[in-house]
Structure 1
């Protein structure tokens, strides 16, 4: 029998944790190996227990789900994260996806969708609750896909994009990389087109997902 998917469950409500734990442990291929009631404990247990996947509540006291996801993802970018949330607006979705989550499930439909999300994310897919509008889902997936809009970035394109994320102007980047401003603009345009990004905020979020920035912006 294949090894079970080892799951860390983080939610500040004990009743919710118990329900989700029973749901997950009821599956032959899933196993809850740890529980956390806040973001700080989730980060610590992610290191100590080395789970395959973390189910992370977005709204927790102290260190919230977004900050916890960023730290967990930074410590091990291969670890899978599924966000569990009461929030349906695009702000929370984008923040969690940018922080490293690959799944986003609404609490009101968790009993039906969490198992699907866990299995999809474990398989390397991105999963968003179907209650979300299709147009929003497509937009979000396009914006966080690493290279899905046109292939991998070249080394120079990565250098330019990283400096943009760090806040440098085109002129400063040109000086830093010994290029002309026009060449920098060409690399920038090409990179944004490849990744389906539009604004500097999008670039920063992409850089966070790739681990280019040391601290959250």
Structure 2
């Protein structure tokens, strides 16, 4: 019964978040000035209706909390073995990481926008980092148990595939950084750059740290380390 109530609470939290977000869009409907080529509706609401943004943030945290309660409900843990518990934590970390990465990307300014405002993605950076670490830790614990189920040959093939995917991800990340710097006119030390004197951590570069490539790099390294450790551990 309690698990069912947790699910109802999760659905209710999504309804609240959607309602508050719709209210924020309605409050920004009188914002007709186009700033830097786009409508910064949320920034407008944050400036003129800060309480709405505060409630919106609280409702989003409520969604995460409701989701956490579902995955950690005692009925889920009672009849699950270690592998199944690990998989549930991996799924939870994957969902939360995807949501967090999306928010960081959403609050990254486009290169063609000349903005000297503060980095609005900062409130999402540190929670995203901790959530991603939680996902990788859960993945490490689950993958170590998963390697035990397969033969050494299959594990080696899996490690090799992760190595190839890691290489592709590193190349993609390097290409993304180079392309972003070209679009911005160079690094923060170049006077003609849009990020001149802003440093590497600014509203234009959030996506360089949290994107599909960095997600795959962290995931592949975790799986490779666990696989190699298990291979050496079983030899003894």
Say whether the fold is shared (TM-score over 0.5).
no
Structure with bigger strand share is: 1
Higher helix share: 2
> Is the radius of gyration larger for structure 1 or structure 2?
2
Compute the TM-score of the two structures, normalised by the length of structure 1: 0.24
